[in-house]
Structure 1
Amino acid sequence: MVLEELDYADPAIRAQQYFAVLDEQQSLCGFVQFFPIVGVTRLGLGLHPDRVGKGLGTAFVKLLVREAVARAPSNQIDLEVLIWNIRAQRTYMKAGFAITDTYERMTPNGLATFHCMVYS
């Protein structure tokens, strides 16, 4: 991973940007990356597969938004979501995000189309 220059392979970046989200019993609920861009905090997030489909997604996203605001109060908060992921888009909209842009970009699996969603 370090040879591929992936940011999560860098221990300093990993410590600053990547976090596990645990419940009261210290079980893994999901993860978040608070990726800094000038004036923006971009969220990268994932809910643990065992918790998907149980009505927890909106609360999970709202929790991450509150933390992003606490970390950088003046930053805009956004995220990217693949256009085919309607379920995630609905969750993000319920949490206060809106689609502001659609674009293609390269991923490790090739070109993909994304929506940018911004929190308001």
Structure 2
Amino acid sequence: MEFNLVPVTGSAAEKIAEWRYEPPYDFYNLDADPEDYAAFMDPSNWETKFAVEDGDGTLVGFFDLTPRNQFVEVGLGMHPDLTGQGLGRTFVEAGLRHARDDLEADVFELAVATFNDRAISVYEDIGFEYVETYSQRTNGGEYEFLRMRRE
């Protein structure tokens, strides 16, 4: 499958906000945390956000590529109907390639919930390494996350 990153629009943001993942991945439903939802839907935050379209122009995911001092912080999501189908590696690599080309980035960091073995496996497979585990208050509770880095 082809993945193309384009600037996010209000229409794309609204569609992404409606996506529903099956448990335990429902943790990633955008409206699971009101603050995350508000930040995602705020157009003033869209400078770093990209919709991902397939070769036919269908919305299939998103990336948030936020430049930090020494790396690009990567946030991402794939349409629920496409998860678990072996597309993760190609999807993530498309986002990293975009960050390399447009932001001239070569160091990336991301955070993933520690229960998300599926995503962690993809990240490890493409060269992300463990940095730290930490707890964060979100979605109405305290959750453990794994910070990963790729240089």
Using the TM superposition, give the Cα deviation of residue 107 of structure 1 relative to its aligned residue in structure 2, in angstroms: 1.2
Q: Do residues 89 (structure 1) and 130 (structure 2) align?
A: no
SS in 2 for 1:93: helix
Change (3 A) 1:66 1:36: same
User: What TM-score does the superposition give when structure 1 sets the normalisation length?
Assistant: 0.85
Counterpart contact for 2:72–2:105, Cα < 8 Å: no
Identity %: 33
Q: Which runs of no fewer than 5 residues in structure 1 stay unpaired?
A: none
User: What TM-score does the superposition give when structure 2 sets the normalisation length?
Assistant: 0.69
Two-structure CA RMSD over aligned residues (Å): 2.1
Q: What is the CA–CA distance in structure 2 between the aligned matches of 1:105 and 1:88, rounded to whole Å?
A: 18
Change (3 A) 1:109 1:75: farther
With CA pairs under 8 Å and 6+ residues apart, which has the higher RCO, 1 or 2?
2
Count of matched residue positions in the alignment of Structure 1 and Structure 2: 117
Q: Do residues 116 (structure 1) and 143 (structure 2) align?
A: no
Question: Greater strand percent: which structure?
Answer: 1
Q: Which runs of no fewer than 5 residues in structure 2 stay unpaired?
A: 1-34
Question: Greater helix percent: which structure?
Answer: 2
